[in-house]
């Protein structure tokens, strides 16, 4: 009898523990989790307008540029616009100079909402200018564009209560400049002074040298005080949030470390209608890119205190994350209804496109990429159409019709970065081959070439970013059902020359003759893979 009672109690204990675990799991599933977005959304700037948040980010050499995302809960975001279609009509931005503007183009933006107008500002080494875009309707436009010299590095746009407009910019030594009232340029005779000599100082450790100076300025005013967020990377340390505050915008400024955990840094403050505060930041996460995090903020003694006991939490008291498909990335069958955009917002061209050489109307239900010049490599080819990869794993599939390709053409599906990978079809005279190119070493190498005689082929790339594994496998199929691995596994790497996470890329370029075309029937993205786990 006693034994039976013990077994009963043990069973009840197991049930209780299981119920507790199930309850904890359910609770965790009802909350948001970090990373907020497992995709390349770096240099975020964020603003709230009523019950809606808008966020701008960096995509540098891509066109259109400065993506605008929208959220109703601060967790789940969707692309709604871009600040510009074309930053400038220059050889480097058009990929006509033999090297392009990889890793440059437009950099960190600042987004603000003032007097019922949205402002998105950025700067570009490629143009040597600071660019300001404004609109009453951030989701539909139109945008008014202003630009002026010089290019103000990592600036923060700021409208003060007295009607004055400023930008605070620089690296380590931070400068405050006053703008004209209409934002048309730097105000003659206005404030133009260094306000912090060494913004990195709070994070520097005595005896250690090196590292990167404070940058990524984001300036706010809360309860009459000015607050400035910066990222630093002290020598021998990790990426760090440094916060300064002041009673006057010109200073004096006092600073302290705001957060030092997992390298989660660079961003700023955002509030909710219920008076809760968060810091939005990002983390370098290998080849997928720089991924956003949210960190709760408490206010103590007039300072924003970031994190939970100084750490970045795994979960947040916010609505749960939904899939990044289709808000951030999306499949595309290339079918278009009347008045629909030619390309959904998830797509960006690698540099400014030649719009005469692509179409979604010449052949209904297909994206046609035509060749208009001879190129020597994938990275030099214009009109490559891209969208983000996502973590922790993802796959992209295309169906390709090669019947209009010419001798010397190469078309297919790629993973774009310096150490790129490609799977596609090469035409050599009357011969056709499915080819895999592997540039894991930084130098492209043909890892496989398989002759075939069809006009249609399906191609697939699978990415594994789990725990920064950073590998990709390529496949082909002759019927869209049975898949064969091709070539060698791509070892992906986030490299400074491009300074952007890996992207799926639809490409077609000529190496001998112009006038050929490749027709893409669809692009399909999933957040799963069938290959290596």
Helix intervals (H) in 399-443: none
| Nearest partner of 114 among 138, 140, 148, 141, judged by Cα | 138
Contact predicate 214/172, CB 8 Å: yes
Provide DSSP, 7-55.
HHHHHHHHHHHHHHHHHHHHHHHTSEESSS-SB---S-EEEEETTEEEE
Written as six digits, the tokens of 452 are 């075939």
Q: What is the pLDDT along the chain (533 residues), one digit of tens a residue?
A: 444 544 544 454 444 434 444 444 444 568 999 999 999 999 999 999 999 999 999 999 999 999 999 999 999 999 999 999 999 999 999 999 999 999 999 999 999 999 999 999 999 999 999 999 999 999 999 999 999 999 999 999 999 999 999 999 999 999 999 999 999 999 999 999 999 999 999 998 876 766 788 999 999 999 999 999 999 999 888 999 999 999 999 999 999 999 999 999 999 999 999 999 999 999 999 999 999 999 999 999 999 999 999 999 999 999 999 999 999 999 999 999 999 999 999 999 999 999 999 999 999 999 999 999 999 999 999 999 999 999 999 999 999 999 999 999 999 999 999 999 999 999 999 999 999 999 999 999 999 999 999 999 999 999 999 999 999 999 999 999 999 999 999 999 999 889 999 999 999 999 999 999 999 999 999 999 996 44
Provide DSSP, 432-477.
EEEEEEE-TTSS-EEEEEEE---SEEEEEEEEE-GGG--EEEEEEE
Q: Give pTM, 2 decimals.
A: 0.93
Neighbour tally for 528: CB within 10 Å:
8
Q: Which domains does the chain have, with CATH numbers?
A: 34-316 (2.115.10.20), 348-526 (2.60.120.200)
| Nearest partner of 144 among 104, 183, 109, judged by Cα | 183
Contact predicate 159/187, CB 8 Å: no
pLDDT of amino acid 25? 44
pLDDT of amino acid 488? 97
List, in order, residues 6 or more apart from 352 with CB less than 8 Å away.
63, 86, 87, 89, 93, 94, 95
| Nearest partner of 217 among 110, 339, 306, judged by Cα | 110
CA distance linking residue 412 with residue 423, whole number of Å: 6
| Nearest partner of 242 among 252, 75, 253, judged by Cα | 253
pLDDT of amino acid 207? 62
């Amino acid at each position: 009898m006693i034994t039976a009672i013990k077994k009963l109690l043990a069973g009840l204990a197991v049930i209780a523990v299981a119920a507790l675990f199930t309850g904890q799991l359910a609770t965790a599933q009802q909350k948001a989790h970090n990373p907020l977005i497992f995709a390349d959304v770096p240099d975020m700037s964020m603003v709230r307008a009523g019950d809606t948040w808008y966020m701008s980010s960096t995509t540098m050499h891509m066109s259109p540029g400065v993506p605008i995302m929208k959220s109703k809960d601060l967790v789940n975001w969707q692309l709604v616009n871009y600040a510009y279609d074309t930053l400038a009509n220059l050889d480097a931005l058009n990929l006509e100079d033999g090297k392009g503007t990889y890793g440059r183009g437009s950099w960190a933006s600042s987004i603000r909402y003032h007097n019922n107008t949205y402002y998105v500002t950025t700067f570009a080494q490629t143009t040597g200018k600071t660019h300001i875009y404004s609109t009453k309707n951030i989701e539909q436009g139109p945008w008014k564009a202003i630009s002026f010299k010089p290019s103000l590095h990592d600036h923060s746009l700021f409208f003060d209560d007295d009607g004055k407009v400023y930008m605070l910019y620089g690296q380590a030594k931070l400068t405050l400049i006053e703008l004209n009232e209409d934002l048309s340029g730097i105000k003659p005779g206005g404030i133009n002074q260094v306000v912090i000599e060494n913004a990195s100082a709070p994070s520097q450790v005595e005896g250690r040298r090196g590292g990167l100076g404070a940058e990524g300025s984001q300036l706010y005013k809360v309860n009459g005080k000015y607050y400035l967020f910066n990222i630093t990377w002290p020598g021998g340390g990790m990426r760090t949030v440094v916060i300064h505050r002041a009673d006057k915008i010109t200073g004096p400024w006092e600073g302290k470390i705001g957060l030092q955990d997992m390298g989660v840094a660079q961003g700023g403050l955002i509030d909710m209608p219920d008076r809760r505060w968060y810091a939005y930041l990002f983390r370098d996460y290998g080849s997928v890119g720089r991924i956003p995090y949210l960190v709760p903020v408490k206010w103590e003694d007039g300072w924003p205190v970031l994190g939970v006991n100084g750490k970045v939490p795994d979960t947040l008291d916010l609505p749960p994350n939904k899939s990044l498909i289709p808000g951030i990335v999306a499949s595309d069958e290339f079918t278009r209804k009347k008045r629909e955009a030619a390309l959904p917002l998830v797509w960006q061209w690698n540099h400014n496109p030649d719009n005469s050489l692509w179409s979604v109307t010449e052949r209904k239900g297909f994206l046609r990429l035509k060749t208009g010049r001879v190129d020597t490599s994938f990275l030099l080819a214009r009109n490559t159409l891209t969208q983000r990869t996502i973590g922790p794993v993802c796959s992209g599939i295309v169906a390709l019709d090669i019947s209009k390709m010419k001798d010397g053409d190469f078309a297919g599906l790629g993973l774009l970065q310096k150490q790129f990978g490609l799977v596609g079809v090469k035409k050599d005279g009357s011969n056709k081959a499915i080819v895999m190119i592997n540039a894991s070493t930084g130098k492209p190498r043909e890892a496989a070439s398989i002759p075939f005689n069809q006009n249609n082929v399906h191609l697939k790339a699978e990415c594994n970013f789990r725990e920064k594994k950073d590998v990709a496998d390529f496949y082909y199929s002759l019927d869209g059902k049975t898949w064969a691995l091709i070539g060698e596994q791509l070892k992906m790497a986030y490299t400074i020359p491009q300074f952007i996470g890996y992207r799926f890329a639809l490409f077609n370029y000529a190496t001998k003759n112009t006038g050929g075309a490749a027709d893409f029937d669809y692009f399909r993205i999933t957040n799963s893979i069938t290959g290596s786990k």
